[in-house]
Amino acid sequence: MNISADIYGGDGQSDFFVAGESFSTRLWYEVNKLQTSSNAALTNPKSIKTAVGLSLLFPGAGEIYANNGRESLIKGAAFAAVEITGWLLYFHYKNKGNSFEKKYKRYADNNWDINGYLDFLETTLSNYDAGELGRWNGQYVDGKFDGIDLDKLVAAENEWYKLTGGAHSIPHSKTQQYYEMIYKYPVQFAQGWSDADPNAVTGGLSGYDYTNLTPNMLYYRGLRNNSNSNLRNATTMTSLLLANRFLSMIDAAWTVKRKNSNSKIEMGFRIRNDWMDERWVMMPTVQFTF
């Protein structure tokens, strides 16, 4: 920013050289007036804390607040664009992941039956009679499956572990882990699926593994994979948003620091000839740059 002041000492060139005291007084007055107004513009430098706080609230706002030229505005717009795009993608992936989650849970509820799993345990374990573990009646007691002897179920799973060398305990309600285990370990839980063949059971195992999943198991796995993939993308977006916010805060502080350090006053003095009152006069000029 440039500020110039012309100091005219009187009625022409003779006044400039002869009336030195009058000119000096006026020169001092004009210089002091310009310097006072220039300093006033610098007594309130941009606040780094404010810039950082604004970028914390919304990336790019700190750069725009710094107002350090065109570059500052471009960077502010870029950070803001990343923020807006990131949130749009986050909600897109989050909603899509949640939608697939509802689908796979509904599909599992219709196609995997814990009672089929109980049948499988009773069939493969010689010391359990048919129906001894009870059957789920579709109700819950204290948040757990009603109608099943849960203590006997745990004992049966431990017995199955001794028989096969590996076992997992099915959760006693439809938790997130429940929906994961029924497809993640087909060797143990595959017989709960409606299209599983009971005759496939051999050696205490369900007869199914990752190499020969039933159509229902494959479809369910696809739904879960789609859900998990989209939810992971949503998590990635949150990481991107945090990184964008952090970088904007750092850049805003740096931009304000540059803005404040560039705000300094330089004073120049020159004399130029101007045409005034039908004659040339010598015009002292003071110039401030800040």
Per-residue pLDDT of the chain (290 residues; tens, 9 = 90+): 544 444 444 444 433 333 344 544 554 455 455 455 445 445 568 888 999 999 999 999 999 999 888 888 999 999 999 999 999 999 999 999 999 999 999 999 999 999 999 999 999 998 899 999 999 999 999 999 999 999 999 999 999 999 998 889 999 999 999 999 999 999 999 999 999 999 999 989 999 999 999 999 999 999 999 999 999 999 999 999 999 999 999 999 999 988 888 655 444 445 555 555 555 544 555 444 54
pLDDT score at 25: 52
pLDDT score at 92: 98
Distances (CA, A) of 164 to 138, 179, 180, 203, 213: 30, 23, 21, 8, 20
H or E element, residue 88: helix 69-111
What does the alpha-carbon distance between residue 28 and residue 31 come to, in Å, rounded to a whole number?
5
**What's the predicted TM-score (pTM) here?**
0.72
pLDDT score at 19: 38
What does the alpha-carbon distance between residue 13 and residue 257 come to, in Å, rounded to a whole number?
46
Write the burial class of residue 235 (CB in 10 Å: 0-12 exposed, 13-18 middle, 19+ buried): middle
pLDDT score at 46: 85
The conformational region for residue 273 under phi > 0 = left, psi -120 to 50 = alpha, else beta, is beta
